[in-house]
Amino acid sequence: MNGQPESPEVESEDVNPEIEADAEANSPEEVDVEAALVELQAKADENWDRYLRSAAEVENVRKRAVRDVERARRYALEGFSRELLEVRDSLELGLTAADVADVESIVAGSQATLKLLGTTFERFGIVEVDPEGEPFDPEFHEAMTMQPSADAEPGSVLTVIQKGYTLNGRLLRPARVIVAAEPVDPE
């Protein structure tokens, strides 16, 4: 009509609108974006799964540590207690034998029991602090009084009233002592 060949008209019924929309939506650039999104979503899901597993593992480790600490607190003295049972048995035997035994055998039994207790202490790192004649050390000794003495050096332990004890180098109980002082001048 206007001098140009007429193009065949395409009826709208021949072209499916969904295919046309997909063709426009699936341009190469958009396909790459969709693939990247799918890949990123998969990576995010994987990281979330790792996070959940790690959080669960941390919680399990925490619970196990709490259980171990509780168990250690409850049963830490088990070995020591077992060893002390031998000392108690020895004391009970001595008391039972006291009815029929003479003084010498009771003393010998008491000495054996004390030796057994000392061996148990050594096994568990308990060391006796008996500082007689040594210089006074406020970290391990408790001065009960000072006494003038011409025989002992001033500041040294003159007499031990009660022995002290350490556990693996840490003070359990200080030794209670009398410390030597300068002798009083008679003038």
User: Which residue spans within 29-185 are E strands per DSSP?
Assistant: 126-129, 141-148, 157-162, 164-167, 170-173, 175-181
Asked if residue 119 has pLDDT above 70, the reply is yes
Considering the domain architecture, whether residues 146 and 187 belong to the same structural domain is answered as yes
The last residue of one of the domains, among 35, 51, 75, is 75
Asked if residue 161 belongs to a domain, the reply is yes
Asked if residue 115 belongs to a domain, the reply is yes
Tell me which of 96 and 7 has the higher pLDDT: 96
Asked if residue 156 belongs to a domain, the reply is yes
pTM above 0.85, yes or no: no
Beta bridge partners of 165: 128, 173
Asked if residue 12 has pLDDT above 50, the reply is no
180 falls in which pLDDT band (50, 70, 90)? very high
Q: If you search the block for the tokens 């790792």, which residue do you land on?
A: 50
pLDDT (tens digit per residue) in 41-79: 999 999 999 999 999 999 999 999 999 999 988 888 888
Give the pLDDT score at 63.
96
Sign of CA dihedral 146, 151, 152, 158: negative
Q: Which residues contact 142 (CB under 8 A, 6 or more apart)?
A: 164, 174, 175, 176, 177
Range of the domain at 141: 126-187
Helix and strand counts by DSSP (H, E) for the chain: 4, 6
